[in-house]
Amino acid sequence: MPLPSLSRRSGSRTNLKPVNPGRHRNSPTKEAEAVVEDTELTSYLRALAPENDPESTGTGKRFGEAQVFQLRMNLIACEQLKDAAAERNLSPQALAQEWILERLSWESQANSAQQRRHEEAHTDEFRFDANAWEQPVPR
Helices (H), the chain: 28-34, 39-48, 75-87, 92-121, 130-134
Which has more confidence, 105 or 20? 105
36 inside domain? no
Please determine, for residue 39, whether its predicted confidence score (pLDDT) is greater than 70: yes
Asked whether residue 103 is domain-assigned, the answer is yes
For 9, phi then psi, to 5°, come to -110, 125
Choose among 80, 119, 115: nearest CA to 96.
80
Higher pLDDT, 134 or 8: 134
Reading phi first (left if > 0) and then psi (alpha if -120 to 50, else beta), residue 56 is in: beta
Q: Is residue 4 part of a domain?
A: no
63-109 pLDDT, tens digit each: 677 888 888 999 999 999 999 999 999 999 999 999 999 999 999 88
Q: Is residue 87 part of a domain?
A: yes
Percent of the chain past pLDDT 90, that is, above it, reads 26
Residue 94 within any structural domain of the chain: yes
Query: Using CA of residue 83, residue 87, residue 90, residue 96, what is the dihedral sign?
Result: negative
Domain assignment of residue 105, given as a range: 72-123
Query: In Å, how far from its chain's centre is CA 38?
Result: 29
pTM: 0.40
8 within some domain: no
For the chain, how many structural domains are there in total?
1
Q: Is residue 79 part of a domain?
A: yes
pLDDT, mean of residues 47-62: 61
pLDDT band, residue 37 (cuts 50/70/90): confident
57 within a domain of the structure (yes/no): no
The highest-confidence range among 17-31, 37-51, 102-116, 118-132, by mean pLDDT, is 102-116
Rounded to whole angstroms, the Cα distance separating 111 from 117 reads 10
